Amino acid sequence: MDTSGVVTSAAAQLSGTTAQLIDAKAQRARLQSAYQRVRQILAAGGDLKDEPAVARTPAVIASKASLTEAQRALEQISERYGPQHPSYRQADAQYKAALTSYDREVNLAAAQIQRDYETADATVNAIDQTVSNAKQQVASVNRSEFELSSLQREVQTNRQLYELFLNRIKETSATDGLQKTIGRVIEPAQAQSVVRSFPKPFQYTVVAFVLTLLLGSGLAVLTVVLDDTVKTTEEVEQRLHAAVMGTVPVLQDGTKGMAVLQSDPQGLFAEAFRTIRTSLALSELDSDKVVLAITSSVASEGKSTVAMNLASMQSQTKKTVLIDADMRKPTLGRDLLGDTSAEARPGLSDVISGVVTLDEALVELPDSPLVLLPAGKLVPNPLDLLSSKRFGLMLDALKARFDVVILDTPPVRLVSDALVVAECCTSMLYVVQSDKTSYKLARRGLQDVRSTHARLLGVVLNKQDVEKADKYYGEYSGLGTNNYTTYGVAVPELRKA
């Protein structure tokens, strides 16, 4: 199939249409300048008579000549007759008619220029569309020609394969009648001695053991390298550059801390908070009144548990009030009073807002000298309340009535409430959960705390697995089963706390 004629015809059509498009664009360009000047004169309210494109129109030239002749005749008659003479009136009427005709021809010429330009523009668009269609047609013909060439090559290849197979079939048919060569025994087969291959379990076991040992060692090293959590008091001092105020063992059975203090006052959990109380007393030797804020890096590190148990331990020797300053997620009212709703009792937010008095919000805990100030009603702007002057005045009133004021504040890496509260406190305590909190996260939180006016006393390492720390890290915290609990008094075996 010959497609050269189709391609040549399409190319010729495209070439001719392109030449027409060039001529049409040139014609439009010649008319465009006159068209634009006419539009500018009309937009400005000018006189079209001075436009050269209008003035050189044959009809305008003839009309202008008639106007000039009528004007000259009027001037001649006006020299001999007055305005009331019939001859003057006739010449004046002819002049006005010529002037009207001249103006009409000027407007018609301007309108004709606009129509000519619009016609030329429409012609260019039409020819341009034709060129686009011709280009698409040429492209379509080229694609068809390429596909045809591909199909022709495929047909040629198939034809050659067919001829090859046909020749092979003819050759095979011609040789079927010939006698085939019969096989001969050149050398008889002989049985060889067989060396049996069997598994070698000892060698395989040794190799497997070595590979497993290497893999386990590599995984252990990788785990240690990737683990950036704080596990021991030495890591607190080395990585966080902070003093250790004490360690609190983990309560694995989910028991609340206050219950453990009351049920087992001589156990490891109670002793941990006695150690923290002693560290706090040594740090605040020169202070008659202590306002202590307790915070952590993120939620669920146990800061509220540390706050309530430290306050309970402090209340045994000093008048102590515990404030739930975490007005975003309060928990002390639920844990200490059994309130299922965060707004069950008036509290800190109500006192600062002036809804209730301080005496109305304070709650004395049953079977404990500790006094609690719950969080109160949840508000959308707790940071504004904590940074108000009323909050500072309330703390001054509490310092006048109590020896120790402990505030449970929100985590510093989530919100800035704790940093605002720290400006009104004498000291701060930072809680870090053992074997979970990243030292980088805790270090940034401690940097935020150190930027306030409150004095950072140190870090409480919370939820520490004592047995794991003694076994794997050699951690000596004074809480191991071979240390304090067997010294001096007989204490029942430690529950999994």
Share of the chain above pLDDT 70, in %: 82
Residues 260 and 386 both lie in one domain: yes
Lowest mean per-residue pLDDT among 19-28, 90-99, 483-492: 483-492
97 within domain boundaries: yes
Higher confidence at residue 439 or residue 187? 439
Last residue of a domain, one of 124, 154, 184: 154
- 433 lies in a domain? yes
Given a cut of 90, is residue 318 above it in pLDDT? yes
Tell me: do 328 and 472 sit in the same domain.
Answer: yes
Average pLDDT over the chain, rounded to an integer: 81
297 and 392 fall within a common domain: yes
Question: Is 348 contained in some domain?
Answer: yes
Whether residues 127 and 237 fall in one domain: no
With a CB cutoff of 8 Å and minimum separation 6, the contacts of 135 are 14
CB 315 within 8 A of CB 370: yes
Q: Is the Cβ–Cβ distance between 11 and 139 less than 8 Å?
A: no
Identify whether 215 is part of a domain. no
3-state secondary structure of 81: coil
Percent over 90 (pLDDT), the chain: 33
Q: Give the model confidence (pLDDT) of 238-266 as tens digits.
A: 999 999 999 999 876 656 556 666 667 78
Q: What is the pLDDT of residues 63-78, one digit of tens each?
A: 778 878 877 887 788 7
Query: Which residues, other chains included, contact 418 with Cβ-Cβ below 8 Å and sequence gap of 6+?
Result: 293, 295, 409, 410, 411, 412, 449
180 found inside a domain: no
CATH number for 278: 3.40.50.300
Q: Which of 382, 345, 349 is CA-nearest to residue 365?
A: 345
The residue range of the domain holding 145 is 4-154
pLDDT in tens, 446-457: 999 998 888 899
Q: Are residues 440 and 312 in the same domain?
A: yes
pLDDT digit string, tens, across residues 129-153 = 888 887 887 788 888 888 888 898 9
Residues 241 and 120 in one domain: no
Q: Is residue 176 part of a domain?
A: no
Q: Which of 97, 127, 154 is the last residue of a domain?
A: 154
In this prediction, residue 430 has a pLDDT band, given cuts at 50, 70 and 90, of: very high
Residues 396-425 have a mean pLDDT of 94
Residues 309 and 453 in one domain: yes
Q: Using the predicted structure, report yes or no on whether residue 219 has a pLDDT greater than 90.
A: no
Count of domains observed in the chain: 2
* Domain boundary pick from 121, 138, 154: 154
Residue 284 has pLDDT above 50, yes or no: yes
pLDDT tens digits for 156-169? 999 999 998 888 88
- The pLDDT of residue 27 is above 70: yes
Report whether pLDDT(212) > 60.
yes
Using the predicted structure, report yes or no on whether residue 208 has a pLDDT greater than 80. Answer: yes
Report pLDDT for 393: 95
Q: In terms of Cα–Cα distance, which of 329, 282, 322, 317 is closest to 306?
A: 322
Say yes or no: 128 and 258 in one domain.
no
